[in-house]
C-alpha cells in the first residue's frame, strides 16, 4: 500500500520509500519524511498535504505513489 | 595593553539555519539593518552583511540563505557552504525553528563537523510554547557543548541573551558516530586531503572528505591554492569508494545523523498534546483544498485588484495625474519656466512635450509610484501571512504544463512585484532547467507591479472582452512558451515537495518596514531610468532622430501592429523599462489617442516586451550572457509577432471589442 491509497483524515506510518535518486531522498529525509515516521494525511488534491509532528508538507502524486505506508487507524 | 586589544577586536558571525526560521529577523536585531523578511522559504537568496558594536567588541554579521544541509544539493546551499569555507567566521550562529528541533539538530550535527565555535538560537519560541512544546535548553546545551538561547525574534524576546551568548560561543562537543563502512571511507579519503588542499585553515580534512564522498566536487573551488592534480585524485578515489557502497554513503551518513538528532530531541523535548485547532489553522488547511481553496484564491486576487487596480490605478492616479499634476503643477511649472528661463532649449527640456517636469516626474510619481506602493503593501501582507506556499499547492497542476512545479509560483508572484528580484529568487528551484524556464517566463510574460497597475488602469476604460483577450493571450503565451521550452530542454520536471509554514497574522511593523525598503529600492532603481528615457526622447526629438525612428518603425508599428506612429515613443521607452512603456500607452489612452483594439494590441505587445535593463543585467548574472541575449531576442520577436497576429484577428472582425 502506498500513500496514494490513503484517504484524507487517515493516520499512517511510512514503511518504505521507493526512490532511487539520492538527492530527492535526501530532501524527503531532511523534511522529516523517512521510514518509521507517523503522519496524518489531510488532502490528496490538488496536491497531497500531510502533517508530521509540527511540520506540514505538500507533495505531488508521483512522490506519494513511491512512499509505502502502513495504515494506523481511521479517524473518519 | 590587553584592554586596548580587546576594544578593537572584530568578531565575524555567520547566521545559518534551515529555510524560513527567522535568520533575517535576527540579523535585523543584531545589526539594526533591514533585510527582506517573509513567511516562506527562500526569501534570502544573497548573503547580506552588517556590523554592530556592543560590550567593547565590534561584530560583523553575515545573513545566509536557508539550508537543510551543508553538503549542498542546490545553489543556495552551495552559496552558504562556500561562504562558511571562504570566510571562516569566528562564530556560527545557528538559528532554528523551536517547533522543528530535530531538523535543526540535523544541521547542527553537520555544522559541528566544521569545528567552529557555535551558538544555537531556538527561534519562534512563542509559537512552540503555544503548541505545548517544552525544550530543556540547559540539557541541550550540555549535550551539544554550545550555548542555547530561546528567542521570539519579531517580538525581540531573547535577543539580549543571544547577544551575550555570542561571547561564550564554543566548538561543539557532540559528534555523530557514522556507520563503520562510511567512517572508514572518510578516513581513507581524509588521508589524501591535506596535501591536495594546500592548507586546511578553512575546513577539517574529514569534512572535505565527506563532501567528496557525497559526490560534490565544487568544494575544491574554495581551495584554489591547492594542487589540482591531487584534488582530482581525491575526487576519483571518493567516487570509486562511493560506487562500492550498496547504498549511497551520503544516505548512510544522513541515517546516522537522523538517528542521533532523534535521540537528542527525545531527551530534551516534551510535547503536551495540544489539539486546539484555532481559526488560522483551519483556514490555512481550507486554503489548500479545491473547495474552498480556489474561491479563497479568487477572493485574494479580487481584493488585490480592488486595492491596486481600482483604488490605486484609477482613483489615486486620476487624482494625482489629472488633478495635482495636469491641472496644477504642470501649468504652474510652465508659467514659471516661461518667466524665469530665457533659453528655449532648457525650457523645453524641463516643460516641453518630452520634458523632465512634464513627462518623467508625473510618469514616475503620479502614474507608477501610487500603483507600486499599493501593490507592495498588499504583496507584503500576502508574503507575511504564509498564504503563498498554499497558493503553490493550488497551482501545482497549472505549472506542470509549463514543465515546472508549484514551487515556481514564488518567483512568478514575486515577479508581479518586480521581475528583477524574481529572477534572483529562481534560485530556490531545484534544477538548472527549471530555473531557465522560470527566467524565460518571467522575462516574457509576467508584468511587474508598475506595469500591471498601468495595464489595469487602462483596462478600466475598455470592455471586459478586451481584458479577457489580453489575459488569455498573455497567460496562453506563458504556458505555450514554458511547455515548448520544457520539451526542448533536456531533463525532467523535479517532483513537487514543499514545506507549508503556519498561517500567521502579519505584524504591521514588519510589513511596513518591508514596504518602505521596497519603495526606496524602486525609486533608486527606476527613477534614474525614467529620467534617462525622457532625456533620450527629448534629444531624439530635437535632433530629428525621433521622427526618423517613427518613420523607420512605421511599417512595423503602424502597418503591422496598427498603432498610431506616436506609439513608437512608448516602445522606445519600453526598451528601458516595460512599465515606462506601459505608462506611455496609459497616457495615450487617457488622452483618447488609442481605439479599443489599438489599446489591446499595445497592451499585449508591451506586456510581453523586452525585460527592463535591470532585469536583463540580473539575468546575465544568473544565467550567463548567451542565455540572456537569446531570451531578449526571442522575446522581442515573439511579442511583436503576436501583437501583429492579434491586430490581424481583430481586423477580420471575428472578435468585436
Walk across the sheet containing B497-500 and list its strands: A67-73, A11-17, A38-43, A48-52, A55-59, B497-500
pLDDT digits (tens, 9 = 90+) for B240-273: 998 888 888 888 888 899 889 989 999 999 876 5
Strand partners of residue A55: A52
A29–B285 C-beta distance less than 8 A: no
Which pLDDT score, from 0 to 100, does residue B183 have?
93
Q: Residue B8 — very low, low, confident or very high, per pLDDT cuts 50/70/90?
A: low
- Sequence-distant (≥ 6) Cβ neighbours of residue B471 within 8 angstroms: none
Q: Residue A74 — very low, low, confident or very high, per pLDDT cuts 50/70/90?
A: low
pLDDT digits (tens, 9 = 90+) for B129-167: 877 788 999 999 999 999 999 999 888 889 999 999 999
Q: What is the mean pLDDT of residues B204-227?
A: 91
Residue the block writes with cell 527606476: B526
**DSSP code per residue over B77-136:** HHHHHHHHHHH--SEEEEEEEGGGHHHHHHHHHHHHTT---EEEEEE-HHHHHHTTEEE-
The verdict on ipTM greater than 0.90 is yes
Q: Mean pLDDT lowest for which of A46-50, B198-202, B384-388? A: B198-202
Assess whether pLDDT exceeds 90 at residue A47: yes
pTM of the predicted structure, to 2 decimals: 0.80
User: Nearest C-alpha of chain A: how many angstroms from B439?
Assistant: 23
What cell was used for B268?
A: 530534551
The chain-wide mean pLDDT, for chain B, equals: 87
Question: Is-contact A2 A69, C-beta < 8 A?
Answer: yes
CA distance B499 to B19: 10
Q: Residue B647 — very low, low, confident or very high, per pLDDT cuts 50/70/90?
A: very high
Which pLDDT score, from 0 to 100, does residue B425 have?
81
Which pLDDT score, from 0 to 100, does residue B2 have?
42
Between A68 and B76, the higher pLDDT residue: A68
Q: What is the mean pLDDT of residues B353-364?
A: 87
Assess whether pLDDT exceeds 90 at residue B60: yes
Q: Residue B39 — very low, low, confident or very high, per pLDDT cuts 50/70/90?
A: low
What cell was used for B274?
A: 495540544
Residue the block writes with cell 555544522: B111
The CA distances from residue B31 to B37, B51, B58, in Å, are 14, 6, 11
CA distance B144 to B255: 19
| Chain B residues closer than 8 Å to A46 by CB | 290, 293, 393-397
Q: What is the mean pLDDT of residues B318-344?
A: 90
Whether the CB of B248 is below 8 Å from some CB of chain A: the reply is yes
B397–A31 C-beta distance less than 8 A: no
pLDDT digits (tens, 9 = 90+) for B458-500: 887 788 899 899 999 999 999 999 999 998 888 877 889 998 9
Which pLDDT score, from 0 to 100, does residue B273 have?
58
pLDDT digits (tens, 9 = 90+) for B536-595: 889 988 998 888 888 888 898 998 999 998 898 888 888 877 888 888 888 888 888 888
Closest Cα partner for B325 from B363, B352, B292, B354? B363
A24–B103 C-beta distance less than 8 A: no
Q: What is the mean pLDDT of residues B424-432?
A: 82
| Chain B residues closer than 8 Å to A45 by CB | 289-290
What cell was used for B227?
A: 594542487
Amino acid at each position: 500500500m502506498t500513500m496514494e491509497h490513503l484517504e484524507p483524515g487517515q493516520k499512517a506510518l511510512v514503511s518504505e520509500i521507493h526512490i532511487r535518486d539520492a538527492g530527492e531522498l535526501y530532501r524527503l529525509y531532511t523534511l522529516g519524511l523517512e521510514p518509521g515516521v507517523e503522519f496524518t494525511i489531510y488532502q490528496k488534491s490538488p496536491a497531497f498535504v500531510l502533517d508530521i509532528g509540527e511540520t506540514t508538507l505538500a507533495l505531488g502524486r508521483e512522490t506519494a505513489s513511491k512512499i509505502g505506508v502502513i495504515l494506523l487507524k481511521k479517524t473518519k | 595593553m590587553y584592554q586596548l586589544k580587546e576594544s578593537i577586536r572584530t568578531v565575524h558571525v555567520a547566521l545559518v539555519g534551515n529555510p524560513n526560521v527567522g535568520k533575517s529577523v535576527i540579523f535585523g536585531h543584531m545589526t539594526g539593518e533591514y533585510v527582506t523578511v517573509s513567511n516562506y522559504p527562500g526569501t534570502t537568496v544573497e548573503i547580506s552583511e552588517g556590523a554592530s558594536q556592543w560590550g567593547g567588541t565590534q561584530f560583523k554579521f553575515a545573513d545566509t540563505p536557508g539550508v537543510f544541509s551543508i553538503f549542498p544539493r542546490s545553489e543556495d546551499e552551495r552559496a552558504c557552504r562556500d561562504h562558511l569555507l571562504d570566510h571562516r567566521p569566528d562564530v556560527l550562529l545557528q538559528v532554528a525553528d523551536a517547533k522543528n528541533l530535530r531538523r535543526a539538530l540535523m544541521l547542527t550535527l553537520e555544522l559541528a563537523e566544521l569545528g567552529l565555535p557555535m551558538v544555537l538560537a531556538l527561534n519562534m519560541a512563542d509559537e512552540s510554547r503555544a503548541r505545548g512544546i517544552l525544550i530543556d535548553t540547559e540539557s541541550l546545551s550540555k549535550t551539544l557543548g554550545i550555548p542555547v538561547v530561546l528567542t521570539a525574534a519579531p517580538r525581540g524576546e531573547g535577543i539580549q541573551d543571544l547577544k551575550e551568548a555570542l561571547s561564550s560561543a564554543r566548538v561543539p562537543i557532540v559528534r555523530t558516530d557514522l556507520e563503520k563502512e562510511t567512517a572508514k571511507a572518510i578516513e581513507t579519503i581524509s588521508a589524501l586531503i591535506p596535501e591536495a588542499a594546500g592548507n586546511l585553515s578553512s575546513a577539517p580534512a574529514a569534512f572535505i572528505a565527506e563532501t567528496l564522498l557525497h559526490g560534490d566536487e565544487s568544494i575544491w573551488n574554495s581551495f584554489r591554492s591547492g594542487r589540482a592534480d591531487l584534488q582530482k585524485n581525491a575526487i576519483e578515489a571518493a567516487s570509486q569508494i562511493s560506487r562500492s557502497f550498496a547504498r549511497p554513503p551520503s544516505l548512510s551518513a544522513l541515517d546516522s545523523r537522523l538517528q542521533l538528532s532523534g535521540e537528542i530531541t527525545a531527551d530534551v523535548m516534551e510535547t503536551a498534546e495540544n489539539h486546539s485547532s484555532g481559526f488560522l489553522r483551519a483556514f490555512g488547511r481550507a486554503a489548500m483544498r479545491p473547495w474552498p481553496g480556489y474561491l479563497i484564491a479568487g477572493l485574494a486576487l479580487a481584493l488585490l485588484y480592488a486595492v491596486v487596480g481600482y483604488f490605486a490605478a484609477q482613483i489615486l492616479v486620476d487624482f494625482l495625474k489629472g488633478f495635482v499634476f495636469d491641472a496644477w503643477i504642470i501649468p504652474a511649472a510652465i508659467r514659471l519656466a516661461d518667466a524665469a528661463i530665457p533659453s528655449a532649449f532648457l525650457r523645453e527640456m524641463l516643460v516641453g512635450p518630452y520634458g523632465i517636469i512634464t513627462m518623467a516626474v508625473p510618469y514616475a510619481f503620479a502614474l507608477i509610484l501610487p500603483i507600486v506602493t499599493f501593490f507592495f503593501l498588499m504583496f507584503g501582507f500576502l508574503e507575511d501571512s504564509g498564504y503563498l506556499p498554499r497558493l503553490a499547492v493550488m497551482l501545482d497542476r497549472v505549472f506542470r504544463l509549463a514543465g515546472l512545479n508549484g514551487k515556481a509560483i514564488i518567483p512568478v508572484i514575486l515577479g508581479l512585484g518586480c521581475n528583477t528580484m524574481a529572477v534572483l529568487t529562481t534560485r530556490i528551484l531545484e534544477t538548472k532547467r527549471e530555473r531557465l524556464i522560470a527566467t524565460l517566463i518571467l522575462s516574457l510574460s509576467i508584468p511587474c507591479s508598475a506595469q500591471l497597475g498601468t495595464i489595469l488602469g487602462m483596462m478600466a476604460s475598455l470592455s471586459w472582452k478586451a481584458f479577457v483577450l489580453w489575459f488569455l493571450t498573455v497567460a496562453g503565451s506563458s504556458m505555450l512558451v514554458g511547455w515548448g521550452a520544457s520539451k526542448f530542454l533536456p531533463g525532467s520536471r523535479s517532483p513537487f515537495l514543499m514545506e507549508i509554514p503556519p498561517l500567521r497574522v502579519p505584524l504591521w511593523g514588519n510589513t511596513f518596514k518591508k514596504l518602505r525598503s521596497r519603495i526606496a529600492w524602486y525609486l533608486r532603481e527606476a527613477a534614474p531610468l525614467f529620467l534617462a528615457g525622457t532625456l533620450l526622447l527629448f534629444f531624439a526629438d530635437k535632433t530629428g532622430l525621433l521622427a526618423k525612428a517613427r518613420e523607420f518603425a512605421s511599417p512595423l508599428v503602424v502597418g503591422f501592429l496598427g498603432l498610431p506612429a506616436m506609439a513608437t515613443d512608448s516602445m522606445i521607452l519600453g526598451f528601458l523599462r516595460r512599465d515606462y512603456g506601459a505608462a506611455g500607452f496609459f497616457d495615450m489612452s487617457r488622452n483618447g489617442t488609442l481605439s479599443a483594439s489599438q489599446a489591446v494590441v499595445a497592451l499585449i505587445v508591451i506586456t510581453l516586451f523586452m525585460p527592463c535593463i535591470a532585469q536583463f543585467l540580473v539575468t546575465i548574472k544568473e544565467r550567463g550572457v548567451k542565455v540572456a541575449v537569446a531570451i531578449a531576442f526571442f522575446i522581442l520577436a515573439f511579442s511583436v509577432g503576436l501583437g501583429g497576429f492579434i491586430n490581424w484577428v481583430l481586423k477580420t472582425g471575428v472578435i468585436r471589442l
